[in-house]
Amino acid sequence: MKKILFKILNKFKNRKDQNRVRGIQKATNLLKSKKESDSARWAKNNELFSNWNERTAILASFIKPDSSIIEFGAGVMHMKTLLKDFKLYTPTDIVKRYDETVVCDLNEPISLNLQSYNVAVFSGVLEYVYDVDNIIRQLSHNNIEQIILSYCCSDIVKLSRDKNGWLSDLTKKELETVFSNYNYKIEAYKEWNNQSIYNLIKG
């Protein structure tokens, strides 16, 4: 009886997962045609997964004490719980999840005053940006000294980008060329679940 119940529940879960993926793929194709962001998806807390905290911990390990940090796509702000002796921390996201969250759509020009920060963090965010080059350029022009980010490079992560809702598809080489173009040097590189994690320092 337990085995039968397990099979039924598993079948229901698989069907639910398949419907979710189909929904994301359909929404992504529509978003791409309009060059828009998926704010409806990210308004749902069930789209934020606890295992992402492992990735956030790696990113946080690159941040030095007394830093002024702006985190893009902050989600549940797990990053803040990992920081020690920081001067300033501002969480931004595409939706206002908490009172502390500053709304920022990275597919629009960054209108925030970045002069108060020396560190910018992107944890699983830049895949959902059409023009990654434009983001790095804006940070460079605002004298951000350190960028810490993760990215699913298209030549390393072979998953369907549409089914994951990803809007950019840079290879590792293409991504690193963007960094170099704006004089950001790779201080450290790690991988988490095949995702590329970079600690970039302005040269």
How far is residue 96's CA from residue 83's CA, in Å, rounded to a whole number?
22
In 84-162 the beta strands, taken as DSSP E runs, fall at 88-93, 102-103, 119-122, 146-151
pLDDT in tens, 73-129: 999 999 999 998 999 999 999 999 999 999 999 999 999 999 999 999 999 999 999
Are 63 and 86 in contact, with CB atoms under 8 Å apart? yes
Give domain 2-202's CATH number out of 3.90.226.10, 3.40.50.150, 3.30.465.10, 3.30.200.190: 3.40.50.150
User: What order do you get walking across the sheet with 184-192 strand by strand?
Assistant: 102-103, 88-93, 68-72, 119-122, 146-151, 195-202, 184-192
Give the domain ranges of the chain: 2-202
pLDDT in tens, 1-43: 555 555 544 544 455 556 566 767 777 888 788 889 988 888 8
Residues in the chain: 203
Q: What does DSSP assign to residue 76?
A: T
Q: What is the mean pLDDT of the chain?
A: 89
Per-residue pLDDT, 4: 57
pLDDT in tens, 98-110: 999 999 999 999 9
- Torsion angle defined by CA atoms of residues 24, 27, 28 and 34, in that order, rounded to the nearest 10 degrees: -170
pLDDT in tens, 139-166: 999 999 999 999 999 999 999 899 999 9
Looking up tokens 């940070």, which residue turns up?
A: 139
Segment 160-184 shows an average pLDDT of 96
Segment 173-202 shows an average pLDDT of 98
Segment 62-72 shows an average pLDDT of 97
Per-residue pLDDT, 25: 78
